[in-house]
A and B are shown apart, each in its own frame.
Chain A
Amino acid sequence: MAKVKENYVGAIDIGTHKCRTLIGISRSNGELEIIGFGETLTEGAVVKGDIQNLELLQEKISDALNQAENMAQISFADIYSATINISGSTVSFIDSIGSVTIKNGDGRITEDDYDEACENAERCNIPVGKTNFGTCISYACINNSKKVINPIGQAANKLDLHALIHCIGASEYKDISLLIDDLGLDENRIDKIFSGLAAMYGVLSENERKNGTLLVDFGAGTTEYLAVNNYGIMTEGVLPVGFEHVINDLSIGLKIPASVVRKLVESGKLEQLLTNKEDFLTCEYNHSTQKFPLHTVENIVNDRLQELFTIIKNEIYKKNCHLDINTGGILIGGGALLSRSQEVFREVFNFNTSIGKANDMTGIIGNLQTPPYGTTYGLLLLAHMCCVGNELPSKANNPLTTAVDKIIYFYKRVKDSIKL
């Protein structure tokens, strides 16, 4: 193996429809520059976010890695820090609280206290057959009364950390490890990150993370959602329902193959019909031209979108997190490209909504600044943050990165503890 190149970072984004790879370079000024990008269709290797065919997926990711490596002129195996996303039907989240009594002479909360509270939060009951792969802090509470972003250094008798423990099926977790191994990569330098968390870093601005935003990543096979407030993640979840369900509904409703519907979507005909309110959707199928009335297509699409966003709304309301969402909702993912998704998202939540795209990107951008690439860029950004000894390159310029630091810290530390 060649010498590890310390300022190179990478990301592997396994999606239901496509897998994407990015290679970037962490500049000395703290900037991240994208220098390589690869993308392939998964062709059934992943269904609803779950790996169905590991060999085929490995082949597809290899192709995507080759594309990125050729563009960046560096082997992915040599880069210092990389991330890979985790999603799917077996991903779940457990609310947990880790408490610690402050016993220091001066009564200040130290980093050790914080870590101990985190460890206590992680000592929750993980369901049988599941593995904890990360922990996100929602918020810290001092003396059962004061909510703070960064409790370190503050005077207190007691510290409670409210956390969300990320879990995945043990065999699914093992599949990701095997995949990394089969790709010839070093697992020690690849962090496994929940897709929604990566999307949050890739898309949300500092202001949005501070003031409270709902982020929905409407992908092909899964939809991840996450409510963030004061830099902490208040609730998050994955639904194994995505845009493929819209395609399936149309295929069943219009009695045409899913492949024909997919072509209608990719060619922009469906978008054109719904936006321009054309009378009919026409498609060539079975050596003839078939026409479908607008209202039929509209109803099928609307029913699915309304149901999906209503489920997310119910989940958010169940946890009372709607009170934390002050800046509105942001929709990303391939499904966000359909303007009807945006409209229904707004109708269901009844607050300001917008389409998200990757933030402050430099380098080879191409069409990376579009909704489907938010998660991929977020993964690269997280790898960039972990780049050199957990130091955040832009830390000096950013006074509010402690909480961010901690989240990253936890992901790395948890990974190490699993290995032990």
Chain B
Amino acid sequence: MSMKKIGIVGIGGAGIKIVGTLQNLKQAQNFSLLAIDTDEKTLSESMLPEANKLLLGFDWKKGNGCGGDAAIGGRVFGHERARLNAFFKDYDMIFFVGGLGRGTAGGSVSVILSEMNKLQIPLIFVLTLPFMMEGPAKSRAAENLLKSEIHNTNNVIITIPNDLLFSKLDSSCTIQEAFKLSNLEVAKSVLSLALVFASGNLLAANHTDLLEIVAKKKHFASIGIGTASSRDSLDNRFNKALERMLLSPLLGGTDTLKEADAVIVSLLGGNSLTACDTKYLLEKVNSFVGENANLVVNFSTDETFGESILLAVIAIKFDKNALNLEIFKETTEEISAPKRKKNENIDGQASLDLQFHERGIFEKTNRTYYDGIDLDIPSFQRKK
């Protein structure tokens, strides 16, 4: 395994449960598992070492969480930038995992992105979208966050709809089992991605490739993971891995691959991985992928894998309506008001903008926006 220090951080209740599931997976021991929340109770229930936990906003919210309000979540994270900075500064790469629809994970995204960009740490967000059965309010909150915050950023944020699980759920499956299965599948997906990135030594998984594909585009991702070991017989292990990948609950079936706009295929194996085997497997995967899809392939070896192999596929489908809207937005953004920024007043909560911008003689005139920037504010002030 390479010496990269990779962290997997669970944010909020759902994220911490996923990280908790990861703790039970053997290969996750190579990574630092961390947890962040605004709710003291959830954090205390986590089995992670105390040093790996970070409770935010205690002075303000007294450890009671942010009540499902992403705006409050955002402000809590905003106030705690220095602690976040200190908590993450030693990592080479960080995976953030959480569930959208409640306050902490959704609200944290923009602050974490800005802090990680400052620290120049590559990051990947894996966010789950709530089950429809969790109620329309939660789905709506998640949808709003996707529109306003997440898909506008120039970062790798993979959103996985939990409802994909229904393609594989048994009719007798209880709600608890469904959530447990969701956590397990997301945990396995994140772990696979982390393994691929950690041991990129051949045709390496490149953070920029992912960035190129998903940044600033509203999309829905599904992840398929297939593993096989020598127990599946050396000749057959590739077919087994492929079969298991195609049956992954969070992939949503082979149709998902066929309809995807972009597919990232990663193959990780031991030193015995041969060029012919790799070619065979990639050709097999390719046969399930649509003709026009953007296919990104990477494979790596890691001696600790021995005869085992891991096949991970991320299928990305862009939201065509959102793409059209983005084009419309580009043409109208000069005359439209910019979205509310995090540091502006929301719900009467006072906040202090440390950089004071003046508009001088244009104070009482219509604002002049270009690409969301107020051109009436002196250029030298905005440049600071």
Let me know if B67 is at the binding interface, CB within 8 A. no
Q: Which of B335, B359, B365, B378 contacts A304 (CB 8 A)?
A: B378
With A89-B368, A239-B370, A241-B368 in contact, do A248 and B380 touch (Cβ < 8 Å)?
Answer: no
Residues of B within 8 A of A245 (CB): 362, 375-376, 378
Contact status B370-A253, CB under 8 Å: no
With A245-B375, A248-B360 in contact, do A303 and B380 touch (Cβ < 8 Å)?
Answer: yes
Q: Measured between alpha carbons, how far is A379 from B298 in the docked complex, in Å?
A: 63
Let me know if B379 is at the binding interface, CB within 8 A. yes
Interface residues of B in 356-375 (CB under 8 A from A): 358-362, 365-366, 368, 370, 375
Q: Which of A47, A241, A299 contacts B375 (CB 8 A)?
A: A241
Q: Which of A50, A239, A240, A249 contacts B379 (CB 8 A)?
A: A249
Residues of A within 8 A of B26 (CB): none
Q: Measured between alpha carbons, how far is A258 from B360 in the docked complex, in Å?
A: 8
Contact status B368-A251, CB under 8 Å: no
Residues of B within 8 A of A400 (CB): none
Contact status A252-B358, CB under 8 Å: yes
Nearest B residue to A222 via CB reads B368
Q: A-B contact count, CB below 8 Å?
A: 59
Q: Measured between alpha carbons, how far is A300 from B379 in the docked complex, in Å?
A: 7
Let me know if B279 is at the binding interface, CB within 8 A. no
Let me know if A182 is at the binding interface, CB within 8 A. no
Contact status A252-B360, CB under 8 Å: yes
Interface residues of A in 240-280 (CB under 8 A from B): 240-241, 244-245, 247-249, 251-253, 258
Q: Measured between alpha carbons, how far is A43 from B362 in the docked complex, in Å?
A: 14
Residues of A within 8 A of B375 (CB): 239-241, 245, 307
Q: Which of B361, B368, B370, B378 contacts A300 (CB 8 A)?
A: B378
With A244-B361, A248-B362, A252-B358 in contact, do A304 and B379 touch (Cβ < 8 Å)?
Answer: yes
Contact status B378-A249, CB under 8 Å: yes
Q: Measured between alpha carbons, how far is A90 from B335 in the docked complex, in Å?
A: 8
Let me know if A17 is at the binding interface, CB within 8 A. no
Interface residues of A in 11-32 (CB under 8 A from B): none
Contact status A252-B366, CB under 8 Å: no
A283 CB to closest chain B CB (Å) equals: 17
Let me know if B383 is at the binding interface, CB within 8 A. yes
Let me know if A48 is at the binding interface, CB within 8 A. yes
Chain A contact surface mostly: helix
Q: Measured between alpha carbons, how far is A253 from B377 in the docked complex, in Å?
A: 11
Let me know if B274 is at the binding interface, CB within 8 A. no
Residues of B within 8 A of A170 (CB): none
Q: Which of A50, A253, A258 contacts B361 (CB 8 A)?
A: A258
Let me know if B381 is at the binding interface, CB within 8 A. yes
Contact status B378-A253, CB under 8 Å: yes
Contact status A252-B381, CB under 8 Å: yes
Contact status B380-A299, CB under 8 Å: yes
Q: Which of A89, A244, A307 contacts B366 (CB 8 A)?
A: A89
Nearest A residue to B378 via CB reads A249
B9 CB to closest chain A CB (Å) equals: 37
B314-344 CB mask vs A (1 if < 8 Å, else 0) is: 0000000000000000000001000000000
Q: Measured between alpha carbons, how far is A307 from B366 in the docked complex, in Å?
A: 20
Range for the number of chain B residues in contact with chain A: 10 to 19
Contact status B370-A249, CB under 8 Å: no
Contact status A253-B376, CB under 8 Å: no
Contact status B368-A307, CB under 8 Å: no
A278-308 CB mask vs B (1 if < 8 Å, else 0) is: 0000000000000000000001100110110
Nearest B residue to A258 via CB reads B361
Interface residues of A, CB < 8 Å — how many?
25
Q: Measured between alpha carbons, how far is A38 from B97 in the docked complex, in Å?
A: 69
Nearest B residue to A303 via CB reads B379
B358 CB to closest chain A CB (Å) equals: 5
Interface residues of B in 117-140 (CB under 8 A from A): none
Residues of A within 8 A of B376 (CB): 245, 248
Residues of B within 8 A of A89 (CB): 335, 366, 368
Q: Which of A52, A244, A311 contacts B370 (CB 8 A)?
A: A311
With A239-B370, A240-B368 in contact, do A249 and B380 touch (Cβ < 8 Å)?
Answer: yes
Residues of A within 8 A of B362 (CB): 48, 245, 248
With A248-B376, A303-B380 in contact, do A47 and B365 touch (Cβ < 8 Å)?
Answer: yes
Closest 5 CB pairs of A and B: A303-B379, A249-B378, A248-B360, A303-B380, A304-B379
Contact status B360-A251, CB under 8 Å: yes
Q: Measured between alpha carbons, how far is A349 from B376 in the docked complex, in Å?
A: 23
Q: Measured between alpha carbons, how far is A79 from B366 in the docked complex, in Å?
A: 36
B229 CB to closest chain A CB (Å) equals: 53
Contact status A300-B360, CB under 8 Å: no
Residues of B within 8 A of A244 (CB): 361
B93-118 CB mask vs A (1 if < 8 Å, else 0) is: 00000000000000000000000000
Nearest A residue to B381 via CB reads A252
Known contacts A248-B376, A304-B378; can you find 12 more A-B pairs with CB under 8 A? A89-B368, A240-B375, A245-B362, A248-B378, A249-B379, A251-B361, A252-B358, A252-B360, A300-B380, A303-B379, A307-B375, A311-B370
B329 CB to closest chain A CB (Å) equals: 14
Residues of B within 8 A of A307 (CB): 375, 379
Interface residues of B in 37-64 (CB under 8 A from A): none
Q: Measured between alpha carbons, how far is A244 from B381 in the docked complex, in Å?
A: 16
Q: Measured between alpha carbons, how far is A306 from B365 in the docked complex, in Å?
A: 23
A86-104 CB mask vs B (1 if < 8 Å, else 0) is: 0001100000000000000
Q: Measured between alpha carbons, how far is A287 from B199 in the docked complex, in Å?
A: 71
Q: Measured between alpha carbons, how far is A239 from B376 in the docked complex, in Å?
A: 12
Q: Measured between alpha carbons, how far is A251 from B335 in the docked complex, in Å?
A: 26
Nearest B residue to A299 via CB reads B380
B105 CB to closest chain A CB (Å) equals: 35
Residues of A within 8 A of B359 (CB): 248
B14 CB to closest chain A CB (Å) equals: 41
Interface residues of A in 360-404 (CB under 8 A from B): none
Contact status A48-B366, CB under 8 Å: yes
Residues of B within 8 A of A241 (CB): 368, 375
Q: Measured between alpha carbons, how far is A206 from B362 in the docked complex, in Å?
A: 39
A151 CB to closest chain B CB (Å) equals: 29
Q: Measured between alpha carbons, how far is A311 from B370 in the docked complex, in Å?
A: 9
Q: Which of B358, B366, B378, B380 contacts A50 (CB 8 A)?
A: B366
20 A-B pairs (CB sep. < 8 Å): A48-B365, A90-B335, A239-B368, A240-B375, A241-B375, A244-B361, A245-B362, A248-B359, A248-B376, A249-B360, A249-B380, A252-B358, A252-B378, A258-B360, A300-B378, A300-B379, A300-B380, A303-B379, A303-B380, A307-B375
